Every structure is written in structure tokens, then in C-alpha cells.
Amino acid sequence: MFRIGFDVGGTNIAAGLLNESLDIVQRRNVPFSNGKGGEYIASVLAQLVRDLTGAQCIGAKELECIGVAVPGSIDRRGEFVIDAYNLQFHNVPLRSQLQVYFPEVPVFLANDANAAALAELHKGAFAGCKTAVLMTLGTGVGGGIILNGKMFNGGNGNGVELGHSILSHNGELCSCGVHGCVEAYCTASWFVRQGRKAVVEYKNSMIYTSARGSMDNVTAKLVVDCAKEGDHIALDIFDRYVDALGSAVTSMVNILDPEVIALGGGVSLAGDFLFEPLRENVRKKVFFPAFGRIVPAQTGNDAGVIGAAMLKVNAE
């Protein structure tokens, strides 16, 4: 039997057909225009199902399930996308809209960060774990929790928002409108903001030279690369980032005592330059003398697709 997983983003849909070993044997990646509603996206997904199964020369009867991961909140029954602002979705019955096309194949919905955590459980850093935490460090901070070997969707079914736990009382303004969230301090966007300040204030910095004086050229990768090369201003920015992220990770460890915390997203690509000081920072702050591993996530850009394809297993 095969499974299909979809990772629906704001402007792009990634799709994969997975075999029983969870290898993606067929994949598609297509752009689409958001704001057209659930029925439109359901029709796009249905065509992708036909494309994937046709390329593999199989029929719908050989599909165990279809899973869809979206960047938004899902109702506790898994029927509606309550809010997905990047898709302009509000109370959209996406599961039933897609189910119409394939009445004999079970369809499942999940938040994309939860799906990514599920992918790490079945084919990544959480293999064999009962309790684990995934944090994705990109434009925002997302993530998911594995409890008792299953994706945890919150006690009331509202999901989990790791990026919106409070890190600093009356701290920086977060995109959600609250001050001091983890997302205000632990994103790639934070690096960009700090790098742009350095361009304005410190014209003798490597960041300034690399950006050629233009704030628009500053990226998180540029700041990290300058820190790796020893620029003292970039190193100060990086050290402050590690300290903030270390506090966020420490809170996860103290609350859940997970076997593994995995970090994904663009910032995690800094590798050992990030992970070695982060582990040391957490070691100094954490309550427990022994705690779980802090490692890179393994499923990368396929996380949403793999996790979506495994939603049926999680529901069993």
C-alpha cells in the first residue's frame, strides 16, 4: 500500500507518494495562487493525487490514506482549517472538500509543524522516542511535540505554539501582537533585524562590508557567516541569539524532559557552530543534571509531506 502526503504553503504545494518504507517514490512541487478557497485547493490536490498515482501506475484502491499539512490551526476533529492566514483560510472544511474526490480513501488534516514532528518520529531524529520536541527556526518559530509516541495536538485540540511561549517579560513585540515571545528572539528574522542595525551603526563591521552598505542585503546567513569568520559584532549578535534560544530550549526540557529536542529550519543549518554552544548554554541553565539530546532535525524539506502521509497511523 502507498500513502500520499501534501505540504501546503502560502504559494506552493509539495506532494509525495510514499511506499511502505516511507520512501518518497514520486513527488511533485507546484505553485498556486492562494486566496481562491478550499474547493480550489482541493481540486489542485485531487489532480496531484492522479498525477502521482498515474506516474506509479497504481490506482486509488492502493492508497492507504491521503494527508494534508497546512500552516494553520485545525479543529479537534480534523475537519476544518480554522485559520491559515497565508492561505486566507478561515473555517474551511478542507477534509470533506478533498474527500469528495476519493470517497474510499481516508483523508486527514494537520498543522504543518505538528506533521513535521510526526515525520521526525517515523523517519528522523525521534526514531524510537516516546517524548520529543521539534523546533523549527525560520521566518517564525514553529514546532511540534511527541508524547507517548504520538503527535500531541494539545489538551483541548488547539495544537501547540512553541514560538509563542513567553521568553522575556515586556520584551520585543512579536508578530502575534504580544511582547516577549520566543518567536520575537529566535527566528532568522531576528538575525536580519540585528544585522541591519549593525549596518547602520557599525560601518567598520564585516556585516557592513559584505552587505555593501545596503540594509536590504542583510540576511540571517550573512550574519552567521560573518560570525564564523570572527567579526566581533556578528559574534555578539550570534551569542545573544544562542542565549535566547538556549533559554527557550531549557524551558522545553524543564517542562517535558524530552528524550530528544530537534531543531530544524534555516538557522539550524549553521550546524555545530550553533549546536555546540547551544548545548553548553542549556547545560548551564537546565534543572536536570542529565537531559535529552539536542540534535538537528533530519527530514528537512520533506518533513511536511512525510508527516502528512503518517497522520492515519497517528490516529490509530
Q: What span, in angstroms and rounded, lies between the C-alpha atoms of 274 and 272?
A: 5
User: Identity (one letter) of the amino acid at 88?
Assistant: Q
Distance CA 98, CA 290 (A): 46
**Parts of the chain belonging to CATH 3.30.420.40:** 2-121+302-315, 128-297
Is 82 within 8 Å of 72 (Cβ atoms)? yes
CATH of 128-297, one of 2.60.120.860, 3.40.630.30, 3.50.50.60, 3.30.420.40: 3.30.420.40
Q: φ and ψ at 172, to 5 degrees?
A: -60, 150
CA distance 239 to 88: 37
The CATH number of 2-121+302-315 is which of 3.20.20.70, 3.30.420.40, 3.40.50.300, 3.40.50.800?
3.30.420.40
Rounded to whole angstroms, how far apart are CA atoms 229 and 281? Answer: 21
Query: Whose grid coordinates read 491521503?
Result: 66
152's CB contacts (< 8 A; 6+ apart) are 144, 145, 146, 160
How many CA atoms are closer than 13 Å to the CA of 122, on its beta-carbon side? 25
Which secondary structure element, helix H or strand E, spans residue 241, and what is its range? helix 232-256
- pLDDT at position 208 is 84
Indicate the burial class of 18 (C-beta count within 10 angstroms; 0-12, 13-18, 19 or more): buried
Per-residue pLDDT of the chain (316 residues; tens, 9 = 90+): 999 999 998 889 999 999 999 999 999 999 988 788 899 999 999 999 999 999 999 998 999 999 999 988 899 889 999 988 878 889 999 999 999 999 999 999 999 999 999 999 999 999 999 999 999 998 889 889 999 999 998 888 878 889 999 999 999 999 889 999 999 999 999 999 999 999 888 888 899 888 876 777 889 999 999 999 999 999 999 999 999 999 999 999 999 999 999 999 999 999 999 999 999 999 999 999 999 999 999 999 999 999 999 999 988 8
Q: Tell me, what amino acid is at 236?
A: D
> 160 near 143, Cβ under 8 Å?
yes
pLDDT for 259:
98
What are the distances in angstroms from CA 60 to CA 4, 10, 52, 104, 246?
A: 11, 27, 10, 8, 47
Backbone angles phi, psi at 204, to 5 degrees: -95, 5
Residue 9 near residue 139, CB atoms below 8 Å:
no
Determine the Cα–Cα distance for residues 81 and 70; give it in Å rounded to an integer. 8
**How would you class 1 by CB atoms within 10 Å of its CB: exposed for 0-12, middle for 13-18, buried for 19 or more?**
exposed
Name which of 264, 252, 251 is nearest 295 in CA terms: 264
Angle formed at CA 158 by CA 155 and CA 164, multiple of 5 degrees: 105
Helix (H, G, I), strand (E, B) or coil at 127: coil
Residue 123: partners with Cβ closer than 8 Å, 6 or more residues away:
22, 298, 299, 306
Q: Where are the alpha helices (DSSP H) in the chain?
A: 38-56, 94-99, 112-123, 188-201, 206-211, 220-228, 232-256, 272-285, 303-309, 311-315
Cα 12 to its chain centre, rounded Å, is 15
Q: Is the pTM of this model over 0.85?
A: yes
Q: Are 108 and 312 in contact (CB under 8 A)?
A: yes
